[in-house]
Amino acid sequence: MVDEGTRKTLSSIPLLQTKAGPRDKELWTTRLKEEYQALIKYVQNNKAADNDWFRLESDKTGTKWFGKCWYVHNLLKYEFDLEFDIPITYPTTAPELALPGLDGKTAKMYRGGKICLTDHFKPLWARNVPRFGIAHAMALGLGPWLAVEIPELIEKGVVTYQEKSEEAK
Amino acid sequence: MSTVEELQKRVKELEAQLASVQGNAGPARQKIDVMSSEVVDSNPYSRLMALKRMGIVDNYEKIREMSVAVVGVGGVGSVTAEMLTRCGIGKLILFDYDKVELANMNRLFFQPHQAGLSKVDAAASTLQNINPDVTIDAYNYNITTVENFQKFCDTIRTGSLTGGPVNLVLSCVDNFEARMAINTACNELNQKWFESGVSENAVSGHIQFIAPGQTACFACAPPLVVASKIDEKTLKREGVCAASLPTTMGIVAGFLVQNTLKYLLEFGTVTHYLGYSALTDFFPIMALKPNPQCEDMYCRLRREEHNLRPVVEVATEVTEDSAPVHADNEWGISLVDENTPEDDDCSHLKLVDGVQVAYSVPVDNSTPESSTGGAVAASELSLEELMQQMKSM
């Protein structure tokens, strides 16, 4: 159950090939390179489509990721810190993306600001192991989540516009 | 306005007050060396030891030598830990990285004044007070991260009262990632464990016994779900992640500990899979065989090892078949004996009516949802260069 737009976005993100997790030494490095390639391509696509919406980087081991994502609503840009760990069970299990700044502000979240994904995300991920990577999790998981949740949170006044974030990066 | 000394004095006073409020004046009873079956008001074990006199259990006091790890001390795990504590288990090892919140108060065990404490510390202190004979270790970390996973494995491997592997691991976690991490650890360590769970709509649950190589591991098939008889279309998911009920969680914890006791003290039959549907009071049970094509390498290895051993029990005949008789059977209430004809759904799992896999995964690696994007080509760039490129975008 993926809408047309997401499907199109998804289809232009390259698929990964190496099934390796952070405990797999050299193979993990190979996987990590693929992750970065897919992410770079995805960000390039987003920029080309004038829909640039996140930045991510990792520590040297590739197991701790952090960055920012943003969402434009009524011409204002709302920015959020994004972080997640790569679990030892990756890529069999998807990364649990977290927006710690929104922890406790919405019911569509688990502890620590981990976003609550739809019923469809996990089966979709499971069917695509090991081809899906972080870029796919962003496109399929966080992107749609922001699109649904952020306008609502803004409307409720839980999320408010902050002048400063406009000039970050 | 206050000096450091004054503040330090004040802190001491408050700490003393806090200790008295929390009743930290030491446990309410002294430790007991040997379980007695004497029936007196003062013996906390008399009713348990009576199980021996009634011929249910041969050796109840053996429980004092047993060590059990409980992973996840939430709605199911905390109750599980309390039951085992009251049963006089030798050692409990608790894992969780969460804190107690007021939002947890619809479940059993934790109390409002514990809000803000780590679940493992809060639980350990309550449990120790209930039964000072139990050795309790508490670990406050997330087992799925690279650095903690190794610590987790080492603790399972050496955590028993005698420094060996624990007798059983009980998974009471609330997410797929943690279950898979426990599965990975237990397959590698050849550690028997129970998986347990309550559905996010709070009206169904399950327990599953996993003996690596002998029964299906958690990765052998997509997660199993008990049919809840709810029309998916009427299930409103907007605005919430998960609902929970103390009843369902208590029931699942009860099943979990009951089977744990049966396994540890060798009485009755340990159920491989027991499902529970609250709306219809339906309890399917079944045996589950390992999937020879399981993605987990250690699962396959343990299966080979197991197949090389002489068969001791009759309960495990491995039969391969492939008849998806799963159509749309009205799932009536039926006890399934282990010799019923297998109706396979997911190649090797003999699923009973009323239990299904949560989703299907294609066997071949073709036709992914996004097949048009092509695969990543081998990159000329090093990982550092790619990281740099991403950073400078």
pLDDT of the residue at B19: 75
Q: What is the ipTM of this complex?
A: 0.89
Residue A164 lies in a domain: no
Per DSSP, the residues of B323-366 read ----SS---------TTSPP-BSSTT-BPPTTEEESS---SSS-
Nearest alpha-carbon partner for B135 in B159, B169, B119, B164: B159
Give the mutation candidate from A89, A114, A129, A134 for the B interface (greatest B CB count, under 10 A): A89
- By annotation, the residues of B acting in catalysis are 241
How far is the C-alpha of B111 from the C-alpha of B173, rounded, in Å? 20
pLDDT score of A118 more than 80? no
Tens place of pLDDT for every residue, chain B, 393 residues?
678 999 999 998 888 888 777 665 555 788 998 898 888 888 999 999 999 999 999 999 999 999 999 999 999 999 999 999 999 999 999 999 999 999 899 999 999 999 999 999 999 999 999 999 999 999 999 999 999 999 999 999 999 999 999 999 999 999 999 999 999 999 999 999 999 999 988 999 999 999 999 999 999 988 888 877 666 555 555 666 788 999 999 999 999 999 999 999 999 999 999 999 999 999 999 999 999 999 999 999 999 999 998 876 555 555 555 555 555 555 554 444 544 443 334 556 778 888 888 888 876 555 455 455 677 777 778 889 999 999 888
Pick the CATH number of B45-308 from 3.40.50.720, 3.20.20.70, 2.60.40.10, 2.60.260.40: 3.40.50.720
Give the mutation candidate from A35, A37, A42 for the B interface (greatest B CB count, under 10 A): A37
Q: In what order do the strands lie in the sheet with A54-58?
A: A54-58, A64-73, A76-85
Residue A125 lies in a domain: yes
A34 and chain B: CB distance < 8 Å anywhere?
yes
pLDDT of the residue at B41: 86
Which member of B176, B240, B387 has the closest CB to residue A93?
B176
Domain that holds residue A113: 4-158
Residue B375 and residue A15: Cβ atoms within 8 Å?
yes
Q: What is the CATH number of the domain that holds A62?
A: 3.10.110.10
Q: Whose structure tokens read 């190794």?
A: B150
* Helix or strand holding residue A28 (H, E): helix A25-48
B388 and chain A: CB distance < 8 Å anywhere?
no
Residue B368 and residue A126: Cβ atoms within 8 Å?
no
Residue A66 lies in a domain: yes
pLDDT digits (tens, 9 = 90+) for A67-93: 999 999 999 999 999 999 999 999 999
Residue B393 and residue A118: Cβ atoms within 8 Å?
no
Residue A81 lies in a domain: yes
Q: In chain A, pLDDT over 90 holds for what percent of residues? A: 70
Residue A88 and residue B146: Cβ atoms within 8 Å?
yes
User: Which chain A residues contact residue B356 at CB under 8 A?
Assistant: none
Residue A23 lies in a domain: yes
* Helix or strand holding residue A69 (H, E): strand A64-73
Based on the structure, what is the number of domains in chain A? 1
pLDDT of the residue at B365: 53
Question: Which B-chain residues 23-42 have CB contacts (< 8 A) with chain A?
Answer: none
- For strand B67-71 and strand B91-95, is the pairing parallel, antiparallel, or unpaired? parallel
